[in-house]
């Protein structure tokens, strides 16, 4: 009898301990309550609360339901009706370069020749003789009147400092005479294949403007930033992303950037999940890169290869079938990745055979048409499978190519902010008819295409809310299109949010672990100051990120 009694007591004790452990196991580390949680999950699109355990979402539901997950040590955040979204995924950025630019000269807002010169002169005063003046992100379309800058503007104020400042799209540089000298560029230097050295029609002297492949002539003589400078730049970029609710980045970068991120990951300082797309030329050495390419971590991976077909609209190097209206002898150009003929197709096929994704920059209608032709040929050669190939930008399209994008299941990786910028002047360059299918987001979605949205930072602001605003309103920056530039291409708020969340995850084969707020997924979340669904679309860009949560941890509070 005594033995039986002890056995019963032991069973009750074990059951009590097990129950207590189970209760502790089911208690959340962090709970968000009393909010509007837009999950981007069709099965349960809107809830009030989220419970988080470790790095994962433990449960979602009503505030009453989630209260059961609150324990003694649970941190509780009362949302007071604020909107919660999945952490933003930027599907196209130049992240380390963005970090470097934060401490360099800023010319994006410059609106006159005089201001341009004054900014350069002021930067000289901050530097030592011989130091390079870099970054800039100028936009000659903002100048009054619009005109390309020249070395003559800045030579007199930069006698001892070489200058190499880029147009904000990254397809054109302004350099001064000292930089030309260091690069060995003279009136006799021929433009390289895939690029152009602009020259004065009267003297034959370089004007200081270099386009696409010609930029490399100067870029290769600029001293490489030190490891310490790169680490600091990456940390600046991470902090900036955290403040904007960006929890994942698709970085169009070189292998050297990947190595910087590996160091930050090792030091537990990587506060954004980064998928790196390395230059397509690296596919030539794909066997030698197997170690880097096989590296996989929830915070860092090489996702695939990135190539270029053409340049940009603003630099008049985007490749079109028809001429530019403001430059009748120009239809744009193919850049160096397309040479020698067949090189792009060969590299895409090599990457595809080894199971790696490809993402290709194409802006002009001819460039997009050409890359789709290449995609079709490689698919025919290698057979059908789940590829999720991407066209980066896909700015100017024919309707037949929008249909091909959908049928080939090609992802369009787009940057909505570009449209409210380009929309100020694009019609002057290519006419209204071609602009009807410029940034044709609605048409792409209507044909069941997939939009993965990003910024192209530093070409445009990293802030996803500015991109959502642009996609939903299409109101150009000059205020001249209050109803929207080619308003028939507006998309809904839900579609825009999906572009910056679940579709971004899909574009890197990660939709099973992030991109929506669902039990079992990574707890990457953002809390906004405004409920975007309750305010007019034109007010979206007034909203701010107040809390960013990454991997279950609060990493930013405003």
Which regions of the chain carry the CATH code 3.20.20.140?
A: 225-512
Tell me the per-residue pLDDT of 323-341, one tens digit each, with 9 for 90 and over.
Answer: 999 999 999 999 999 999 9
More confident residue, 193 or 11: 193
Average pLDDT, the chain: 94
Mean pLDDT of 508-525: 98
Pairing mode, strands 357-362 and 300-308? parallel
**Does the pLDDT at position 488 exceed 80?**
yes
Cα separation, 510 vs 497, whole angstroms: 17
Q: Residue 144 region, left (φ>0) first, then alpha (ψ -120 to 50), else beta? A: beta
Copy the structure tokens of residue 335: 């850049």
**292 confidence band (pLDDT: 50, 70, 90):** confident
Residue for token pair 């590829």: 387
Cα separation, 439 vs 453, whole angstroms: 12
Mean pLDDT of 418-441: 97
Tell me the per-residue pLDDT of 192-214, one tens digit each, with 9 for 90 and over.
Answer: 999 999 999 999 999 999 999 99
Tell me the per-residue pLDDT of 132-187, one tens digit each, with 9 for 90 and over.
Answer: 999 999 999 999 899 999 999 999 999 999 999 999 888 999 999 999 999 999 99
Cα separation, 343 vs 321, whole angstroms: 21
With beta carbons less than 8 A apart as the criterion, state whether 289 and 282 touch: yes
**17 confidence band (pLDDT: 50, 70, 90):** very low
More confident residue, 504 or 292: 504
Tell me if residue 239 falls in helix, strand or coil: helix
Cα separation, 181 vs 160, whole angstroms: 12
Give me the DSSP letters along 425-451.
Answer: THHHHHHHHHHTTBT-HHHHHHTT-EE
Which regions of the chain carry the CATH code 3.10.310.70?
A: 105-219
Buried residues in 74-105 as b, exposed as e (16+ CB within 10 A):
eeebebeebbbbbbbbbbbbbbbbbbbbeebb
**317 confidence band (pLDDT: 50, 70, 90):** very high
Q: What angle do CA 433, 470, 473 make, to 5 degrees?
A: 75
Residues with Cβ < 8 Å from 462, sequence gap 6 or more? 90, 93, 98, 240, 241, 244, 246, 455
The pLDDT value given to residue 293: 86
More confident residue, 24 or 420: 420
Pairing mode, strands 206-212 and 195-199? antiparallel
Copy the structure tokens of residue 498: 């999906």
The pLDDT value given to residue 491: 98
The pLDDT value given to residue 220: 96
Q: Do you know the residue count of the chain?
A: 558
| Closest-CA residue to 305 (of 334, 336, 282) | 282
Copy the structure tokens of residue 416: 């909505």
**Does the pLDDT at position 558 exceed 80?**
yes
Copy the structure tokens of residue 440: 């044709």
Residue for token pair 């970090």: 99
Mean pLDDT of 463-489: 97
Give the predicted TM-score (pTM) of the model.
0.90
Least confident of 12-16, 29-33, 295-299, 401-405: 12-16
Cα distance from N-terminal residue to C-terminal residue, the chain: 65
Copy the structure tokens of residue 1: 């009898």
**4 confidence band (pLDDT: 50, 70, 90):** low
Cα separation, 245 vs 461, whole angstroms: 13
**Does the pLDDT at position 19 exceed 50?**
no
Mean pLDDT of 365-371: 98
Q: Which residues pair with 327 in a beta bridge?
A: 324
**12 confidence band (pLDDT: 50, 70, 90):** low
Burial class (CB in 10 A: 0-12, 13-18, 19+), 343: middle
**Does the pLDDT at position 494 exceed 80?**
yes
Q: Residue 245 region, left (φ>0) first, then alpha (ψ -120 to 50), else beta? A: left
CA 453 to chain centre: 7
Q: Which residues pair with 212 in a beta bridge?
A: 195
The pLDDT value given to residue 199: 96
DSSP 354: T
DSSP 29: S
The pLDDT value given to residue 291: 83
**Does the pLDDT at position 22 exceed 50?**
no
**7 confidence band (pLDDT: 50, 70, 90):** low
Residues with Cβ < 8 Å from 176, sequence gap 6 or more? 151, 154, 155, 158, 162, 163, 208
Copy the structure tokens of residue 135: 């970054």
The pLDDT value given to residue 10: 52
DSSP 231: H
For 105-219, CATH gives 3.10.310.70
With beta carbons less than 8 A apart as the criterion, state whether 453 and 462 touch: no
**14 confidence band (pLDDT: 50, 70, 90):** very low
Least confident of 13-22, 190-199, 522-531: 13-22
Cα separation, 71 vs 116, whole angstroms: 58
Mean pLDDT of 485-505: 98
Cα separation, 502 vs 83, whole angstroms: 17
| Closest-CA residue to 192 (of 223, 165, 218) | 218
Tell me if residue 278 falls in helix, strand or coil: strand
Hey, what CATH topology would domain 225-512 get? TIM Barrel (3.20.20)
The pLDDT value given to residue 386: 96
The pLDDT value given to residue 6: 54
Phi/psi of residue 261, each to 5°? -65, -35
**Does the pLDDT at position 34 exceed 50?**
yes
């Amino acid at each position: 009898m005594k033995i039986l009694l002890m056995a019963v007591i032991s069973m009750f004790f074990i059951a009590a301990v097990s129950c207590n452990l189970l209760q502790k196991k089911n208690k959340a580390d962090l709970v968000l309550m009393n909010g509007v949680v837009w999950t981007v999950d069709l099965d349960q699109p809107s809830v009030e609360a989220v419970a988080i355990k470790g790095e994962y979402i433990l449960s979602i539901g009503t505030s009453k339901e989630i209260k059961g997950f609150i324990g003694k040590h649970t941190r509780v955040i009362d949302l007071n009706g604020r909107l919660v979204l999945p952490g933003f995924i930027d599907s196209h950025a130049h992240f380390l370069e963005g970090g470097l630019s934060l401490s360099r000269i800023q010319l994006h807002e410059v609106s006159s020749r005089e201001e341009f010169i004054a900014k350069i002169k002021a930067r000289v005063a901050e530097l030592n003789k011989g130091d390079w003046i870099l970054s800039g992100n100028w936009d000659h379309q903002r100048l009054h009147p619009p005109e390309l800058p020249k070395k003559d503007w800045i030579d007199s104020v930069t006698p001892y400092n070489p200058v190499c400042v880029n147009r904000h799209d990254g397809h054109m540089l302004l350099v001064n005479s000292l930089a030309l000298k260091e690069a060995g560029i003279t009136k006799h230097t021929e433009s390289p294949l895939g690029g152009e050295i602009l020259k004065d029609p009267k003297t034959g002297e370089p004007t200081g403007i270099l386009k696409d492949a010609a930029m490399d002539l100067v870029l290769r003589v600029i001293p490489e930033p030190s490891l310490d400078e790169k680490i600091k730049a990456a940390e600046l970029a991470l902090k900036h992303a955290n403040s904007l609710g960006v929890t994942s980045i698709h970085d169009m970068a070189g292998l050297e950037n990947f190595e910087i991120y590996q160091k930050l990951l090792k030091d537990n300082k990587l506060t954004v999940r980064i998928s790196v797309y390395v230059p397509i030329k690296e596919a030539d050495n794909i066997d030698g890169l197997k170690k880097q390419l096989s590296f996989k971590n929830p915070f860092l991976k090489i996702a695939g290869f990135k190539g270029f077909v053409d340049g940009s609209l603003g630099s008049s190097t985007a490749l079109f079938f028809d001429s530019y209206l403001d430059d009748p002898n120009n239809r744009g150009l193919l850049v160096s990745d397309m040479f020698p003929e067949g090189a792009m197709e060969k590299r895409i096929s090599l990457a595809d055979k080894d199971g790696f994704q490809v993402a290709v920059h194409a802006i002009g209608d001819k460039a997009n048409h050409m890359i789709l032709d290449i995609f079709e040929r490689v698919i025919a050669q290698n057979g059908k499978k789940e590829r999720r190939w991407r066209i980066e930008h896909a700015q100017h399209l024919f309707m037949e190519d929008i249909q091909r994008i959908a049928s080939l299941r090609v992802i369009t990786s787009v940057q909505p902010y570009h449209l409210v910028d380009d929309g100020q002047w694009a019609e002057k360059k290519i006419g209204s008819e071609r602009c009807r299918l410029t940034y044709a987001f609605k048409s792409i979605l209507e044909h069941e295409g997939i939009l993965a949205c990003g910024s192209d930072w530093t070409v445009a602001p990293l802030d996803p809310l500015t991109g959502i605003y642009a996609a939903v309103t299409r109101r150009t920056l000059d205020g001249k299109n209050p109803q929207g530039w080619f308003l028939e291409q507006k998309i809904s708020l839900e579609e825009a949010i999906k572009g910056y969340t679940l579709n971004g995850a899909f574009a890197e084969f990660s939709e099973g672990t992030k991109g929506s707020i669902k039990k079992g997924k990574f707890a990457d979340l953002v809390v906004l100051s405004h409920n975007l669904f309750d305010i007019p679309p034109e007010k979206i860009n007034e909203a701010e990120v107040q809390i960013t949560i990454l991997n279950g941890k609060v990493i930013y509070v405003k």
